[in-house]
Amino acid sequence: MAYNEQLAERIEQVLVEKKITYYAKKMFGGLCFMVDDKMCFGIVKDELMARIGPDGYDEALEKEYCKEMNFTGRGMKGYVYIEPDGLDMDEDLDYWVQRCLAFNPLAKAAKKKASKKK
């Protein structure tokens, strides 16, 4: 199991309840949830990867079970990991999903790669 499938099901349930249009995409050895064609949050192993943006980033890191996302060897400001113990309660998961959804309209989409003409 490359990512926690039970957590993925819980996230999908939250998104359906909130009537959020999304799609899931396998990335980074895990699963990313795309909202408005932007990476909103994802699952890497058993942790939630949350794209919360730079505002409130330092405050988020003060929360229990929240840590810096250090995927490439250096921290990525605006992205955090939430450890499994910080997602036990549905209210906790909903909190992080809502933070990501609140930032999503401000997030920049990844640049689309130009297709090569033959």
Pick the CATH number of 5-106 from 3.90.1200, 3.40.50, 3.30.2010, 3.90.1150: 3.90.1150
Distance of CA 101 to the CA centre of its chain: 9
Q: How far apart (Å, rounded) are the C-alpha atoms in residues 92 and 56?
A: 17
Residue pLDDT, tens place only, 2-31? 899 999 999 999 999 999 999 999 987 899
Residue pLDDT, tens place only, 98-114? 999 999 999 988 776 65
- Residue extents of the structural domains in the chain: 5-106
Nearest to residue 88, comparing CAs of 60, 69, 65? Answer: 65
Asked if 67 contacts 80 with a C-beta cutoff of 8 angstroms, the reply is: yes
